[in-house]
Chain A
Amino acid sequence: MDSRHMQWAFLEPAGLAVFAALGFWVHPGFWLGAVPALFFRAILREFGLLQDLDEREYLLSLRASHWAFILTLMLATAYVLVSPSIAADRTNQEIAILLFVPLAVRFFLQLGMTYSPRRAGTLIGLLFGTLWLLFAVLSHGISAGTLSEGAIGLIILGTALLSWFFPKPAGILFFLEALVAGYFVMKAGQLPSVRFILMLLFPLPLFLCGILLCLVHKEEGEITDAD
């Protein structure tokens, strides 16, 4: 380790020790804090609060994280695929669904960083609405169920189209849709773990669209915006 970094080197072990002690003696829930503690310096760096790496070291750190992400997903997928209890054990099925979460987060983050908030919000809305419609058609075929479920997809698509012309009102609409989706997920009476996954899959992308579209600046909201 470069001597320039020594003064920051204690941050992760110290954070980890605090949360481990709290998790061990106070409540197991504190173990959750150990995860951000492990990535404390990385999180500070991303917010520009810590500049302990030069540009090459930062690039290497990002590349290492990228490979760790790929390998972790490969290992987790392999584990789920070869697990003998996968078909019988519902928990394992939930883990399999959870594997999609980091992929979705990566996809949405890249979209948000690549495009302007307005374009990213619209794209996520269009994608999510289309997927919802496809899911409705594929699961119900030509039936009344497709109409009722597909209508939700159409509302999301409509909001996404509206967002291109009126980003902020559409953003507020996305927030409302996220609230409604969240209400139905909570009302569904599923196991807490299933509800957690459903919250990640349904209200969260809508909520993200809402945030992105509400971040649009006035001048960026012009129809002529071509980024």
Chain B
Amino acid sequence: MKNRLRELRLLKGQLTQEELARRVGVSRQTIFAIEKGNYHPSVKLALKLARELDTRVEEIFHLEEND
């Protein structure tokens, strides 16, 4: 699974990892892990991220060919 979290976060007024983490109630390391593709968030966290970035989950995350 690929994601555009970092890109969308920076588009949202240079939002920092720390600030996004605070808003969705996780640690900064978790945001970092998601951006690096090392952790796939739950549906609930994905929805929270989408809400904070004023977008839809599908805009942030998308499946790859072999998924």
**A interface with B by C-beta (< 8 Å):** 2, 4, 54-57
Q: Mark B20-50, 1 if CB is under 8 A from A, else 0.
A: 0000011101100100000101101100000
Interface size of B by CB at 8 A reads 11
Bound Cα distance from A57 to B42, whole angstroms? 13
Give min CB distance, A81 to chain B, whole Å: 38
CB closest residue in chain A, given B39 = A56
Q: How far is the CA of A4 from the CA of B44 in the complex (A)?
A: 20
- A55 and B27 contacting across the interface, CB-CB below 8 Å: no
Most buried by B among A54, A55, A57: A54
Which 10 A-B residue pairs are closest in the complex by CB-CB distance? A54-B26, A56-B30, A2-B27, A56-B39, A54-B30, A55-B42, A54-B27, A56-B33, A55-B45, A57-B27
Listed residue (B26, B33, B42) with the most chain A CB atoms within 10 angstroms of its CB:
B26
| Sample of 12 more A-B contacts, CB < 8 Å, known A55-B26, A55-B42, A56-B29 | A2-B29, A4-B27, A54-B25, A54-B26, A54-B30, A54-B45, A55-B30, A55-B44, A55-B45, A56-B30, A56-B33, A56-B39
| Inter-chain contacts of B26 with A (CB < 8 A) | 54-56
What are the residues of chain B within 8 A of A55 when measuring CB–CB? Answer: 26, 30, 41-42, 44-45
Contacts of B27 in A (CB 8 A): 2, 4, 54, 56-57
